[in-house]
Chains A and B, each alone.
Chain A
Amino acid sequence: MIELDHLIAPEQSEYTLWVVALLTLPLLSGLISAFLKQQAPYGSSFLIGLNLVVAGFLALSLWDEPVSIRGSWFSLAGNDFTYSFFLDRLALAMSVIVNFVALLVHLFSIEYMREDPSKPRYFAYLGLFTFSMMGIVLFHNLLFMFIFWELVGLSSFLLIGFWFEKKSASLAANKAFILNRIGDLGFITGLMILYTQFQTLDLDAVKSLMAISEIEDGNWVVAFKKAGQEVMASLDGRWLSAAGIALFCGAVGKSAQFPLQVWLPDAMEGPTPVSALIHAATMVAAGVFMLARIFVLLDAQALEVVAIVGAVTAFMAAIAALSQFDIKKVLAYSTISQLGYMVLAMGVGAFSAGIFHLITHAFFKAGLFLSAGIIIHQLHHLEKGGQKFDPQDMRVMGGLRRKMPVTFFAFLLCSLALVGLPGFSGFLSKDAILLDLAVWADEKGGGFYIPEVLAFMTVVFTAFYTFRMILLVFFGEFRLAGILGRNQLENELHEGNGWLTVPAVIFALLSLSIPFGFTLNPEDSWLMQALPTPMYVVPVAYAAQSLLDIPHETFEVLHGLVNAVSIGLALAGLVLAYWVYRPGGKLQKSFIEKREPVGVFGQVSFYHWYLNALYEKIILKGILAKARGVAWFDRWIVDEAVNLLARLQVVIAYLTRWFDRVFVDGLVNLTAHSIGKVGQLTRSIQSGNIQAQILVTFIFLLTLILLLVL
């Protein structure tokens, strides 16, 4: 019988200090930037760079033998609440990537935020973010993951609302935080369930306990020893699936999955480098990372939910991206849709494919955002003389490739990766996902072809909106000049300097497929091999069929087909996009003049399926109205009820007094009438009349006697 206390026994390693450093350096960078004032950018960037070195060192030295470090945080009711780091390849890869992206973004920001007076705050937030992100990556304990999960949410809140004087920004920040909170409810519920069953939240322990737990007539039973005596924990089996789904809710919030994805587009209110770091490369990927961590704990039902949600998200977002004007919005929606791919991958059990896509996406999407950032930055410089325009609106752009070749180059490469054309990283990862998806669909059959269909349609749309973006931004003539009526404007526009371009170019180069292996078959990519898909540990009765159990031939058979279809679809997308938005094409013109797309499809797409409307106009309003109702209820019903009691007492008092004085007379008059036939005092018996009082007293006593004696 397995002993819980052994599972969560403290572990040490000579790398502990390094890990701690890896975790805390970013925090430090955040803190110092508060004091460095104007030097903050360089200081914090340096520390992040340092951290990258640490990460690299750890990655190199621990790549083949993962280390786990564990200690006790505190104990409650005999349960040890442990903290534990687990540096397996996943964690190492993630920490390298996070630090890498963070570093480049820092450098980029040095230029991008140069004029902003509150730079220190900005870099402090960035540091805080990197710190909490590293927390999620390094900790191997659900409780700690949740803690840093929330901290990430906080830092994202702060960064989105960085320009807080913009109402829209602060509102977007609130939205992001609250929607994430909703997701986190699920996370907490998951924690409750797992803790109730296993009495620990340490992932290692949870996994090994999950491995020995069984399903006995619908009950999820696990037996283990704790502090010597046996513990026989048993819950209704449905809680097992519930746990998986609940934890997944956390991912839904964080990685902007349906139905909580609406916060991500608004999050673009934040500075563009932030969007690159947080809302493209790292934080939103945290959901996927978390799914990867709990991958083996998910049972069939949970996985199905995950897959479907992922597919739906990918599709919806792709549709939404089709008709946006704001370049960042397009990128945001494409991010959502790509995240959808990753989640879908996890859902179908394509663990390594999902991670692979996460990583490739991190690079090319960051590249896209940075390039977009350059454009926005440069356009921003054109604002002068009160001539306001929205530098993110693609309708003011066009023909930029002439003036900003480097940016164009970077943007193009990243876009191709996004579209997923052979030779680019995106191709490999997406191909892997689609292949596994196809196999999964074939295995399950029936309605499970729908995700596949959605995923493949998404390929077309992705290609379409990507090229639409490129065409609108870099080709045709520079429309802003026309709008502002300053013909020489184009000459004032010029390429961003090295601070800006270098990071973008680096990302561009990383979105080629070479870094991941010179091949067209994702199987051969070293990263895929480095991160093999693990086996599920959930009880067999509930476990899904693992892709590893499926004979390799199946994949071989489908591979060519999937390749062909996806490439074909992508090209179709390109052609379609070119046909619609080619420079001088009248569709492009007509489109550009329009304030917003027409037609049902256009509207649905532009308004992202009206999700916002649904949430804000209906649900939120409803809740607020209900709140007011409750407040009214409290004030006028509950409170008044109390006051009423107080009043009631006064009423009683009045009644007694009435009884004491008035009723006396009433009775008196009454009796007086009756007696009055004999005596002649009917006229005048009034209050204060002693006889009356005596009389009533006696009557009262006599009635008492009658009541009690007889």
Chain B
Amino acid sequence: MEHILSYIVFIPLVGALVVLLTPKAYQHLYKVLAIGFTGLSLLLTLYAVHMFDGGLVPQISGEANLQLVEKVEWFRLSLGSLGTFSVDYLLAADGLNISMLLLASIVLFIGAIVCWKIKEKQKAYFGLYLLLSTSVLGCFVALDFFLFYLFFEFMLLPMYFLVGLWGGPRREYAAIKFFIYTLVGSILILIVMIGLYNSVYDPVKTAELAGINGTELSIEEVQALVAEGRIEEGQLVKSFNMLYMANPANYIPGSLLERSGLSTLFGEPIRWMAFLAIFIGFAIKLPSFPFHTWLPDAHVEAPTPISVVLAGVLLKVGGYGLIRTAFAMFPDAAYHYAWLIGFLGMFSIIYGAMNALAQKDLKKLIAFSSVSHMGFVLLGLAAMTSEGISGAIYQMFSHGLISSMLFLIAGVLYDRTHNRTIEHYGGLAHQMPYYTVFVGIAFFASLGLPGFSGFIAELFVFIGAFKSSAVIGAIPAWMAIVSTLGLVLAAGYYLWTFQKMFLGKFWVKEKNWLPALKDLTIREYMVLVPLVVLIIAFGIYPGLLLNLINTGVESFVGHLTEWSK
């Protein structure tokens, strides 16, 4: 099983091919195939998580203690004066991405189950869905920037079509908007990527190429040699390796993005601008105010399973990207802009909540609540404390589960009445008691009630954010305190929605909905119950997740504090 990560990532791709090759006559099999293949990669993921040793302390700025590593040189180009640069096929897991991998597999599997509702153009749909799965999973385990970028970009097209072809009335607008937005983001990331691999070299391969190693040179020695300029640029092997990029010692002296580099642009250090660019790139995906406007449209228009995947996993790519690239590679700039990021986080929390408070469409409300909850991620990251970072990761994970559940329940109602307007319902509890129970669970979980995973996450984000000013001084304490307002607002919009739709006298706008308003079907239980179990499990025993990420987070914070000065 040494290729387990590859299996996890590419099994859905195989599934996509199988679906494409299965003739239309058997199209009832497509959903089975989709479920089967995503389920398979979920099983493998579980196995991988089982094999993953949370005790090992990974080195954020190097390959030490990576787990489940698969490293093959993909190709190596020598571009004249650019020197050689090598692209690796590098998949690996450490404390920062294992949780995201787990989340992605779970949500994708559940999403696949929900796909049973799709009736038209099934072949294309399931093909694209599996394609999407591969790219998403790949995003989380690829530690080579080139590979990461490949997966990252490749998410766009399937998403574009899934929203644009199977979506709601304004689907095309939403799809284009999503596409353009994300493309802008990824262009910004591309700029920085170019800058990075032009400034970073791979000490190991450099040692090989420069032929210094009749005796095997240690990384440090090579770095020393380069620092003294005893290896000329032509002999350097530029690297796309995200881990090397995170290590300031691997930056070529005098290169634009060199850590001590004084090279400035329009008066600002280029490193800082690079950080801003990559930050915006991922903040769009996250999304954070003011780059969030694609989210409500995309969510509202997307079909239920796609909303689930979008909210459950795709947003997390943004957060993960921030951790893995922006923060890990530019700790100093991150520290310099921590205030801004924290403020954006705080603002998103409240801004999203305020928006949610005013929404009439259930899905829009959930979408804006996502904006609010992703704000917690930003806040936690900006804190740059272990509590904050853990909180951020935990928040991504739990929001992945909770928002999936929220969109599922929104979908349940929509399937029955094709209407999501909150005002059009009342007292549904009489008609659909069990549905009401699940909605209640989802709402309370999402507003951060203890016992559900969301609480742990938000608590740590707060604690971390507050602590930040005392230990590292990234963001002021008041940000944490102000952000707590988000909790009240969340309680507000959820409870009022709950009260409007489910409590009081039973009443719906259109009489002809009445027959449709049956309680949950067995299928819906099948997807909802596991989610509830997970949400509660991670709520009452955080160790499940923390034991995986603790060491990673710790060394990540160590990395930040070491280099942010």
Residues in A lying within 8 Å of B, measured CB to CB: 73-78, 143, 146-148, 150-151, 154, 161, 164-167, 170-171, 173-174, 177-178, 181-182, 184-185, 188-189, 191-193, 195-197, 233-235, 623-624, 626-628, 630-631, 634, 638-639, 641-642, 646
Contacts and interface: CB of A to CB of B under 8 A. Distances in A.
Interface string B389-431: 0100000000000000000000000000000000000010110
Interface string B440-476: 0000100001110001000110110011001000000
Nearest to A626: B354
A77 B554 contact: yes
A77 B358 contact: no
Contact of A177 (B385, B477, B495): B495
A164 B463 CA distance: 36
A171 B546 CA distance: 38
Given A76-B460, A188-B459, A189-B484, A196 B466 contact: yes
Interface of B: 177, 180-181, 289-290, 293-294, 351, 354-355, 357-359, 385-387, 390, 427, 429-430, 444, 449-451, 455, 459-460, 462-463, 466-467, 470, 477, 480-481, 484-485, 487-488, 491-492, 495-496, 499, 502-505, 541-543, 546-547, 550, 553-554, 557
Given A174-B499, A178-B495, A626-B354, A74 B466 contact: no
A233 B466 CA distance: 14
Given A165-B427, A185-B484, A154 B449 contact: yes
A165 B554 contact: no
A170 B504 contact: yes
A472 to B, nearest CB: 32
Contacts of B470: 196-197, 233-235
Nearest to B471: A196
B88 to A, nearest CB: 31
Contacts of B429: 164
B293 A74 contact: no
Q: Which of B358, B386, B553 has the most CB of A within 10 A?
A: B358
A631 B466 CA distance: 29
Contacts of A646: 180
Q: Sort A-B residue pairs by CB-CB distance and give the 4 closest, nearest first.
A: A77-B386, A631-B358, A192-B466, A147-B450
Nearest to A646: B180
Given A165-B503, A196-B466, A626-B354, A74 B543 contact: yes
B505 A178 contact: no
B357 A76 contact: no
B480 A192 contact: yes
A185 B358 contact: no
Contacts of A146: 450
B466 A193 contact: yes
B553 A77 contact: yes
B188 to A, nearest CB: 14
19 contacts: A76-B550, A77-B387, A77-B553, A143-B459, A146-B450, A150-B450, A151-B451, A167-B504, A167-B505, A188-B487, A192-B462, A193-B466, A196-B470, A628-B358, A630-B354, A631-B357, A631-B358, A634-B351, A642-B294
Contacts of B550: 75-77
A627 B358 contact: yes
Contact of B354 (A151, A154, A233, A631): A631
B542 A74 contact: yes
B427 A76 contact: no
B390 to A, nearest CB: 6
B542 A639 contact: no
B451 A76 contact: no
Given A178-B491, A185-B484, A185-B487, A77 B357 contact: no
Contacts of A192: 462-463, 466-467, 477, 480-481
A181 B387 CA distance: 23
B504 A76 contact: no
B504 A164 contact: yes
Contacts of B487: 181, 184-185, 188
Nearest to B356: A627
Contacts of A177: 491, 495
A77 B558 CA distance: 11
Contacts of B462: 188, 192
Given A195-B467, A196-B466, A624-B357, A181 B491 contact: yes
